[in-house]
Amino acid sequence: MKIGVLSFQGGVKEHMDHIKSLGTDAVEIKDCRQLDEIDGIILPGGESTTMGKLLEITKMMQPLREKILNGLPVWGTCAGMILLANSIEDSKSYLSVIDISVRRNAYGSQIDSFRDYALIPEVSDFKIPLVFIRAPFITHLGDNVKRLCTIRENVVAARHDNVLVTSFHPELTEDLKFHEYFLSMI
């Protein structure tokens, strides 16, 4: 099994390290020809507007969207979640592969970043640490989308079939449970 991490910018290395610590191959993805080599893909945190532009410039947007619609497991963290959402407040959407609406920078700016803990039964029997950095949250969840976690009354993790989204960054903690959960989707 090989996991790709979209590698234009953002938290690439941290995701690669977590996947490798679980004994699974990880590869940086910068070109759409690489999409045929992988069994799942992570869209990391960073800046969704920049990554969205780079998906267009590299002509990866449509091929990646088709792969996901055909079942390629995908996990978007933070900016990655924004790229996957069907709808973004005050902006056009990008890949539009999961029926959620999101609000960018929903908790405020960089200095409003915070850490919390939550029990997410699908993912772990214990509370796990959650790191939020200029994080979005989900303002609308489609009927077929499963809510995985709510923090401060907002939905911050969800899944529909092969598409997993989190507002937070498990790759910035020592905990591997979320990466294990993603691998179990494959």
Decide: is 41 part of the binding site for ligand GLN (CB under 6 A).
no
Q: Which among 86, 75, 92 is positioned nearest to 158, based on CA atoms?
A: 75
Decide: is 15 part of the binding site for ligand GLN (CB under 6 A).
no
Residue from 18, 103, 134, 179 that binds ligand GLN (CB under 6 A)?
134
Q: What is the dihedral of CA 75, 78, 79, 80, to 10 degrees?
A: 0
Alpha carbon 186 to its chain's center? 15
Question: Is 104 labelled as part of a ligand binding site?
Answer: yes
Q: Which of 14, 18, 149, 171 is catalytic?
A: 171
Q: Which of 18, 160, 169, 179 is catalytic?
A: 169
- The CA distance from 174 to 134, in Å, is 20
Residue whose tokens read 């609308």: 140
Residue from 57, 105, 117, 122 that binds ligand GLN (CB under 6 A)?
105
Half-sphere exposure of 7 (CA within 13 A, CB side): 17
**Is 14 designated active site?**
no
Quote the least distance from Cβ 159 to ligand GLN, whole Å: 19
Give residues in contact with ligand GLN (CB under 6 A).
45-48, 78-79, 82, 104-105, 133-134
Q: Would you list which residues are annotated within the binding site? A: 46-48, 104, 133-134
